[in-house]
Amino acid sequence: MTVAYLGLGANLGDARQTLKDAVVCLAQQHTITVLAKSSLYRTAPIDAGGDDYLNLVVKLDTSMPVRHLLALCHKIEHHFGRERPFRNAPRTLDLDILLYGEHAIDEPDLIVPHPRMTERAFVLVPLVEIEPALIIPQRGRADAFLPGVAGQRIEKMKSPCQCLASNASNAANASDAAGTLGMADNGDDAPKGGCR
The verdict on 41 binding ligand A4P (CB under 6 A) reads no
* Catalytic status, residue 96: yes
Residue 27: CB minimum distance to Mg ion, A = 20
Distances (CA, A) of 99 to 7, 45, 134, 142, 191: 9, 22, 11, 12, 20
The verdict on 46 binding ligand A4P (CB under 6 A) reads yes
The verdict on 139 binding ligand A4P (CB under 6 A) reads no
Q: Where are the beta strands (DSSP E) in the chain?
A: 2-10, 32-37, 41-43, 53-62, 94-100, 105-107, 110-112, 135-136, 140-141, 154-156
Cα distance between residue 156 and residue 41, in whole Å: 4
For ligand A4P, give the closer residue by CB, 31 or 43: 43
The verdict on 161 binding ligand A4P (CB under 6 A) reads no
The verdict on 84 binding ligand A4P (CB under 6 A) reads yes
User: What is the binding site for ligand A4P (CB under 6 A)?
Assistant: 9, 43-48, 53, 55, 70, 73, 84, 88, 94, 96-97, 109-112, 114, 116, 122
